[in-house]
Chain A
Amino acid sequence: MYYKKTSIWKNIDWLTILLYIIMVTAGWFSICGASYEYDSVSLFDLSGRPGSQLMWIGLSFVLVFIVLMLDADFYGVFAYLIYGGMLILLIATIFLAPDIKGSRSWLVIGSLQMQPAEFAKFATALALAKFMGAYGFKFATFKNFSLCLVLIMLPMFCILLQKETGSALVYLAFFLVLYREGMSGYVLMAGISAVAFFVISMKYSDVMVGITPLGELIVLCIIQAITVFLATTVYKLRDKLHVKVLLGATAATYPAAFIVSLFIPVNFALVTLGLLGATCCYLIFLTIKNWVWHYVLIFLFVLVAVGFLFSVDYVFDEVLEPHQQMRIKVSLGLEDDPSGAGYNVNQSIIAIGSGGLLGRGFLNGTQTKLKYVPEQDTDFIFCTVGEEQGFVGSILVLILFTILIVRLIILSEKQKTAFARIYGYSVAAIFFFHLFINIGMVIGLTPVIGIPLPFFSYGGSSLWGFTILLFVFLRMDATRKER
C-alpha cells in the first residue's frame, strides 16, 4: 500500500474534537455541581470528585495522543487479539472482582478501580468491524449472521454474569449497525417491538383499569396499529374500499366499546384482541380473493406478536416465583429500589423540573447537592445539568450529542473501507444507546438502567472507554484522506 504521509493533525476531524472538548468540559462542571459539598474542599483537590475527574480528563488527553499516534492499521490488524484479550479480562473479572453494590464488574488494583466492561465496547466494535468488513463478506448467510451474533453476545453474556445488566444491554446497540449493513428491517423491528412489548407489559402488568389489564391493552393496540399500518401503506391495499373498511372498523370499535362499558364492565384488551382477529380474517379473505401472499405475512406477524405477548405474560406470571419477578423488574429498572417505589426517578424529575427555563445557576441546585437524587454524579448526572442550567442547558447538551452522533454517521458513510464504516457506525450506535437510555431514564421515559452519560458521568473507566472508542474512529477517519 502507498501512503501519502501527511500530518494527522491536518486530516483529523476537528469538529468532533471540538465537540469532545466541549462535552468533557461541560461534564466536568456538571460533576462539580453534583459533588459540591457546602463545607467542602476545593474543586481542584484530588481527593474530591471534581479534582479526580480533572485528573482523568488530563490522562484521557494523553490517551488521545497515544491513540492518534498509533498507525491506523494497527486497530484492524490487532482487532481479534484485542477482542480476545478483552474477553479473557471480562471472564477474569467475574471471578476476581469484589462485590461492589451487588455487581462484580470492578477490578481493583491497589487504590485504582477499573471497569473492563467500559473498554469491551471498543473491542467488540473492532472485532465486529473486522469480521463484517472482510472482503467478500455476505451478510445474508446464516453462518455469517450467527457469527456476528456470537461476537456481540459473548461480551454481553460475560457482563451479564458480572451483574452489570445495564452495561450488557448496551451491546444491543450493535443491532443498529447490523441493520445498516443489511440486516432485515423486520428483524430490527421485531427486536424493538419485542423489547417494547416486554417492557410495557411488565411495567403495567399489575395495573388494571376496570377489568382491563392496561399492559396487554397497550401492547394489543400497538399490534393492531402496526397491522393496519402494514396493510394500508406498506403493502398498499389497492382497493380504497378495503382501506376504509379497515380504518373504519378500527375507529368505530373503541367508541362502541366505551358506550357499552357505561352499562356493563368491558375488558378492552379482549375487545382489541377481537378486533385483531377480525382484521386477520379480513386479510385472509383478501388473500384468498386477490391471491396476494403479502397479507399472510401480516397475519403471521399478528400471530407471533400476540403469541409473544401472552407467552411473556404466562411465563412471568405463572412460571416465575414472585421474588424472581421482582428481581427481573428491578434489574430492568421497571420496579424501583423496593425500599422506596419510584423514589429515585421521582427525585430526578423534581431536580430537572425545578431548573425551569434558565436553571438555578452553577452550584445552586439543591436536589443534587443535598443528595436527593441518587448517583447524582454518575448515572444521574444529567439532573445537575437540568437543575442548574435549566431547559436551555439541557437542550444544548442534547443538541451537542445529536450533532456528535450525526457527524459520526456522516463520517462513517464517507469511509472507503467497510471496516472503518462499520466501526464508525458502532461508535455512533453506542453513543446513541447511552444517550437514549441515560437521559430517557432521568426524565422518566425509559426504564432505570444504570449506564453512564458519555463524557458527563463521573468515572475514569467510562471516560477513557468512550475516549478510546471515539478517537480510534477519528484515527481511522484521518487515514481516509491519506490513502
Chain B
Amino acid sequence: MATNAKYTFENRRFIISGAIILIVFIFIIRLFYLQVIENEYKAFADSNAFLKKALYPSRGMIYDRNGKLLVYNQPAYDVMLIMREVKPFDTLDFCHTVGITKEQFVKRIADIKNRRLNPGYSSYVPQTFMNQLSAKDYGVLQEKLYKFPGFYIQNRTIREYEYPNAAHVLGNIGEVNKRDIERDNYYVQSDYSGRSGVERSYEDVLRGEKGVEILLRDAHGRIKGKYEDGKHDVAPVSGKNLTLSLDMELQAYGEQLMRNKLGSIIMIEPSTGEILCMVSTPTYNPNMLVGRQRGKNHALLEGNPLKPLYDRAIMAGYPPGSTFKPAMGLIFLQEGIITPETMYSCGHGYPVLGGKPACHGHYSPLNLVAAIATSCNAFFCWGLRDMIDNRKRYPNVQDGLDVWRNHMLSMGYGRPLGLDLPGERGGSIPTSKMYDKLYSGRWSSSTIISNAIGQGEVLATPLQMCNLAATIANRGYFYTPHVVKSIENGELASQYTQKNSPTIEARHYAHLAEGMRNAVIGGTCRRVALPDIAVCGKTGTSETVHGKDHSIFIGFAPYEKPEVAISVFVENAGFGATYAAPIAKLMLQKYLKGEIQDSDKYLEDFIINTAIMPRNVL
C-alpha cells in the first residue's frame, strides 16, 4: 500500500507538468489571438502615441499681368491653449493683454469646452483661443506668456492686399465651415480656404499641400519629441503663385471712374480671352475682409443696400438693350433672313405695330450696317418678324424661336460663359416653351417683339455683352473669358485656351464690325471716337422699371487687328451715349495709349465727380 501510494504520488509530476503546459498553451493561444489575429491594436497604440501636427504651407501669391504683386501673406498669431496644462493665472491681466473683456474670456472658454460647438475638443490637444492677434498685442503677450501656463502662440499667415482694388476678382479667405470639411477631407476645423473670387476658384492651386509632423505624446499628453527623428514627417508644399490677366492700373482707373455709380466695366483681350479689368461698383477694399475684423466687416458689407459684395459684372442680368442688336443681325445673316443689302423701312418706329417700339430720326429704308450705326429699332423688329413668323422657313413659331435661341446660346448668352470665378450667372434667353405657357401657345413675333432690341425677356450680364464685342472683334470666335493668365508650374484649364466658334459663319461678322465702326464715325457713339485709334462701338439704353434707363456701351478697338473689347454698364444713367460711351473712351485711351489726352481731361474729371446713385441712398 505504501509503495503503491508513493508510486501514485510520483505520477503526480505528470499531472503537475501537464497542468503547467496546458496553462502555457492557453497563454500562447491568447497571445496568438491578440498579436496575430486581431489587427486593431496597432492602430490603438498609434493613436495613443502619435500626435499628427499639420504643417501649413504658405499660400500662393497673386500677381497682375505686369508682374505687380497684388496679394501676399503676412504673419499672424493665433493664441492657442491646452486646457489640461492651464493653471490658475491672472485672468484680468491676460484679458487686458489680448484686449478682451472678462466676460468674453469666460464665454470663449465655455465655447471651447462645448462639444456641440467644438466636436473635436480634447483637453490634451491645442485649441484655438483667439485668432490673428495683432503684431503689437503679440509682442506684449509673448513677453508675459510665462505667466499663463497652457497658453501658446501659433504662427499663421493671413492675406494682405497691396491695392484697395479688384476685391471681387481677388476674393478673400476665411475659416472653413462644416460643409467644407465634409466635402473635402483636406480641411480640418479652423483651416482657411478661399471664400470668393480667385481665392476660391483657384483654391486647390493656391493652398499647396499641408505637411505633417509626427510627434510622440506620452500618457499625460506631453510631447516627447519627434517620431523617429522626423523620418516620417512630410514637409508642406507651398501653394503656386498666380498671375492674373488683370492690369491693376487699368482696374484701379476703372474703379475710379465708376466711383459713386452702380455698374461695371469689363475689358477683354479678344485674342486670348484674358480679362484686363473687371470693375463692379460699388466695391470695397479687400483688406476689410482680412483678420479678426473680417466677420464684422462682412456683416457690414452684407447689410449695405447697394450690395457691394454683389459682383455685378458677372452676376447681374440686365436687359442688354441695343448692344443686343449685333447678335440679332448675326443670326439674321446666318439664317438668310437678310443679306447685307436687305433694306427695311423705319418710320420713327416699327410700322407693323403702329410705330412701336419707337425709333429716332434717321433715313429710311436702311441696311444692316446703317441700322447698327444708327441703332434702328425697326430694322431688328422686321428681322425678327421675317424670321419667326415666316412659315416657309420654320414649320412654326416655336421652332423659329428655338433656332434663334440656340444661336444666342452659342454666342454665350443665356448660360454662364465658364469664367474662372465663382458665382457667374447666365442671364436669360427666353424659350418657346416659356411663351407657350405665357400666351397659351398663341404668340408671334409681335408678341415678343421687344426681345429684338434687347428688352423684354432677354437678360445678359455685362460679361456676356463684352464677350459679344470680343467675338465681333475676332470676326467670329471667342476665348472663354478668364482672369488668370498663368499658374506657376502649371497649366490653365483647356477651356481657356480653346477657341469657341459660335454657330454663325465668320464671314458675317465683318458687316457688324463695319456697322459698329460707322456708329463711332457717324452714328450713335461719336463721343467714343479717338483721333488715332479706330474705335468700334455700340451704345445701348435699356429700359428698366427701377428708375432711369441703364447706360450701356460695348465696343472694341482698333477696327483692324483689335487689341481690346469693352463693355461698360452704368445703372440708371440714361442714354448709352451719355455716360457709358465716354467712360469707354477713357478706358480705351488708358489701356491703348497709357494716358488720357489733354482734351479729355475735363471729361475724366466730370465722370469721376459725377454721382449716379439711387435716390434713396443719396
Contact = CB atoms under 8 A, between A and B. Distances in A.
Interface in B39-75: 40-42, 44-46, 48-50
Interface string A326-355: 000000000000000000000101111111
A84 interface: no
A366 B46 contact: yes
Contacts of A351: 45
Interface string A127-155: 00000000000000000000000000000
Interface in B564-597: none
Interface stretch (A256-264, A279-287, A398-406): A398-406
Contact of B24 (A180, A352, A398): A398
A402 B21 contact: yes
Contact of A176 (B10, B16, B36, B44): B16
B491 interface: no
A305 B570 CA distance: 100
Contacts of B45: 350-351, 353-354, 366-367, 372, 387
Nearest to A176: B16
Interface in B1-38: 5, 9-10, 12-13, 16-17, 20-21, 23-24, 26-28, 30-32, 34-36, 38
B220 interface: yes
B36 to A, nearest CB: 5
Contacts of B188: none
A371 B44 contact: no
Contacts of B220: 371
B38 A353 contact: yes
B31 A352 contact: yes
A181 B49 contact: no
Interface stretch (A5-13, A164-172, A436-444): A436-444
Nearest to B14: A409
Interface stretch (B211-219, B359-367, B468-476, B508-516): B211-219
Given A182-B5, A398-B24, A391 B17 contact: no
B136 interface: no
A440 to B, nearest CB: 7
A59 interface: no
A290 to B, nearest CB: 27
A394 interface: yes
A409 B17 contact: yes
Contacts of B50: 366
Contacts of A38: 216, 224-225
A318 interface: no
A353 B38 CA distance: 7
Nearest to B216: A370
A366 B48 contact: yes
Interface string A108-133: 00000000000000000000000000
B48 A370 contact: yes
Nearest to B30: A443
B219 A370 contact: yes
Contacts of B35: 352-353, 355-357, 386, 390-391, 394
Nearest to B225: A38
A38 B40 CA distance: 26
A179 B16 contact: yes
Nearest to A359: B35
A456 interface: no
Interface residues of A, number: 46
B36 A356 contact: yes
Given A372-B219, A402-B21, A354 B41 contact: yes
A37 B222 CA distance: 13
A398 B32 CA distance: 13
Contacts of B40: 353
Contacts, number: 117
A353 B41 contact: yes
A401 B28 CA distance: 13
B100 to A, nearest CB: 35
A401 B36 contact: no
Given A39-B225, A353-B41, A401 B24 contact: yes
B41 A405 contact: no
A366 B24 contact: no
A466 interface: no
A40 to B, nearest CB: 10
A391 B34 CA distance: 9
A445 to B, nearest CB: 6
A313 interface: no
Contacts of A401: 24
Given A180-B9, A182-B9, A436 B219 contact: no
A295 interface: no
Contacts of A357: 35-36
Given A366-B49, A398-B28, A349 B34 contact: yes
Contacts of B5: 182
Contacts of A443: 27, 30-31, 34
A367 B27 contact: no
Contacts of A372: 45, 48-49, 218-219
B27 A39 contact: no
B42 A356 contact: yes
B13 A180 contact: yes
A357 B46 CA distance: 17
A375 interface: no
Interface string B195-221: 000000000000000000000111110
Interface in A358-388: 366-367, 370-372, 386-387
Nearest to A39: B225
B150 to A, nearest CB: 21
B27 A370 contact: no
A432 interface: yes
A367 B49 contact: yes
A395 interface: yes
Contacts of A413: 10, 13
B24 A402 contact: yes
Contacts of A347: 48, 219
Interface in B157-214: none
B26 to A, nearest CB: 7
A395 B27 CA distance: 9
A353 B30 CA distance: 10
Nearest to A367: B45
Contact of A180 (B12, B20, B42, B218): B12
Contacts of B46: 354, 366
Contact of A440 (B17, B20, B27): B27
B26 A391 contact: no
A436 B16 CA distance: 13
Nearest to B26: A445
A367 B48 CA distance: 8
B42 A353 contact: yes
B26 A406 contact: no
A386 B31 contact: yes
A404 to B, nearest CB: 11
Nearest 8 interchain pairs by C-beta:
A353-B41, A366-B49, A354-B45, A370-B218, A391-B35, A354-B42, A353-B34, A371-B219
13 contacts: A38-B216, A179-B16, A347-B219, A352-B35, A353-B42, A357-B35, A370-B49, A371-B220, A386-B35, A391-B31, A398-B27, A409-B16, A445-B30
Given A353-B42, A353-B45, 12 more contacts: A179-B16, A349-B34, A350-B45, A354-B42, A367-B45, A370-B48, A371-B220, A372-B45, A372-B49, A394-B31, A398-B31, A402-B20
Interface of A: 37-39, 176, 179-182, 347, 349-357, 366-367, 370-372, 386-387, 390-391, 394-395, 398-399, 401-402, 405-406, 409, 412-413, 432, 435-436, 439-440, 443-445
